[in-house]
Amino acid sequence: MPDDIRDILVEIIDSYGIKILEDPDRLAQFLEDRSSLRPEDTFHLTFALRFLLKCGWRPSRREYMKEGADYRASLESQLGFTKEQAAEVMKLINWLMEMEYGGSEGEEETGAVVAVPGNLKKIAGGVANRPRTMRIRKKSLYNGIILIVSLAVLAALFFQIGNQRTPAGDELRIAFFAPMSGPDARLSHVQLKAAQLAVERVNSRGLARGEYKLKVIGFDLPADPTAAERAVENVMKDKSMLVMVLGRASAAKTLAPLADELEAPLVVASPNPLEAPLLDESSLPYLYSFSLVNDAASRGKILSYFATQALHKKKIAFYYDPSDAVSSAVYKSARKWAAGFGAEVVAELPYGRGGGHYAAMRAFAESGADLLMLPGAGAAAGEILPQRAAAGFGADALGDGYTDRLPQQAGRALAGSWWINEVSALDPQISSVLREYRSLYNEECQPGDVTAAILSYDAVMWIASAFRSTPGFRGEAIRHTLLATRDLVLAHTTLTIDPRTHMPLNKSSAIIYCEEDKGIFQRRFTMRRN
């Protein structure tokens, strides 16, 4: 590892104390924010720390590191570290312990405490003034207890590891869950086909890992949450199922706790956004759940950012559907961020499905708004926009969820509207994927299905990338590799995962502008990082 990681770690420990090593996720974020280290350097360190903590090691008890050779062997055998990687990580951790608790082994036996950053309070507390004989006796007692506890913890850990997930021969299996029966079955089968297309591309180009091949297996996901949980649990009893892909955002909250329990990573690849981040009761992200799609709050922020920073709008009118959870969530977020980005909310009205919109459009026209924002409107815009024109409201419109049906529904009333999509069939960068889909299945991927298909395709490509770089195929190893995703080029975006939320960080969106009765792809748009 480079020398500068030592300096940065000393600085972090000086600020937050040695116990920061007990929080690998936060430590990884600090390292990322403070340095230009290679991702693999921080990855191997934080992953090893997570393993050691699971074994029972704590940075406050330096005696644990005396058996460093055993830990190095475990890093190699259980997590797939090379000898060099394991040695580098253990050397760095031991060096940090020396910095915190004092010099050589001889100095440690005399009970000497060295004044280094982070331990001045400890010295002031009188550690150095205690009788030496008492320290030795206590230390011997602690060593005995620690040895017994560590052996018990390691035994339990190895028993657990023996039951963890492992490849089936040369197959790296991915379980794909979506409603394979009922009204949503057609779209689910499109998603599965797209996922299998990604498998074909990875396997044919040797992009998996060595002799391993990818395999995606589809499973029906019941609508009832209890039945869905039971179905997933039954499938994942097969330890050869390494990762889960979820095709419906509505089931994410139900399955996220189960993923933690099973120690099986879960990737959400839904055409609809999550209503909220995947957080547990303590407002922390579930450890094993990740999302390829933005949540509703992120979509609202993107809408307002584009409206104010790209379109330079200053007076915004909001028109939203209170009966739709996603539309409401996007609206609340967009409204908050509109003010935050310097715009004025001059009008806001709810609408009902199938109702008239003329009166609302007249009110918006009289409000002086220079932009009509339609959060989560989607197909409803086909009714709204013609009445906007009839009411004489000439301001631009901005919404999310452009579909191929809008030109047919709104006609020329579509002119002057902007749209932000997670994925767009009009984006030329995904055309190669759609051509391969047509070639493999001898059928077109319909424009309305493109978002679902591309997200499923990219979910598998993301997992394949994780398989190539993970130090092992255990659930914990794959989880950590997914968490460390940074600047991964996929078909529809360049993906970086925020370790604090397990959601995409500043993910790019497709921008569409409508002229007359058709949408024209403009570019991919990314918010600047704050």
Average pLDDT, the chain: 81
pTM, to two decimals: 0.70
Residues in CB range of 262: below 8 A, 6 or more apart: 233, 236, 288, 475
Most confident of 136-145, 351-360, 458-467: 458-467
Residue 310 pLDDT > 50: yes
d(CA 321, CA 352): 6
Q: Which has more confidence, 165 or 224?
A: 224
* 64 secondary structure, DSSP code: G
Q: For 66-93, how does the pLDDT look when each residue is reduced to its tens digit (9 = 90+)?
A: 556 777 887 777 666 778 888 888 888 8
Q: Which has more confidence, 4 or 505?
A: 505
Residue 127 pLDDT > 60: no
Q: If you compute the radius of gyration of the chain from its CA atoms, what whole number of angstroms results?
A: 27
Contact criterion met (CB below 8 Å) for 154 and 56? yes
Q: Which has more confidence, 106 or 360?
A: 360
pLDDT level of residue 34 (50, 70, 90 thresholds): low
Q: For 152-208, how does the pLDDT look when each residue is reduced to its tens digit (9 = 90+)?
A: 444 444 334 444 778 888 899 999 999 999 888 999 999 999 999 999 999 998 878
Q: For 321-339, how does the pLDDT look when each residue is reduced to its tens digit (9 = 90+)?
A: 888 888 888 999 999 999 8
Looking at the chain, the whole-number percentage of residues with pLDDT higher than 90 is 38
Domains of the chain (ranges, CATH numbers): 4-162 (no CATH), 171-294+428-495 (3.40.50.2300), 297-421+512-525 (3.40.50.2300)
Three-state SS string across 262-309, please?
HCCCEEECCCCCECCCCECCCCCECCCEEECCCEHHHHHHHHHHHHHH
- Could you tell me the CA-to-CA distances from 514 to 319, 391, 410, 448, 520 in Å, in that order? 19, 19, 11, 17, 6
What's the whole-number mean pLDDT along residues 112-129? 31
pLDDT level of residue 106 (50, 70, 90 thresholds): very low
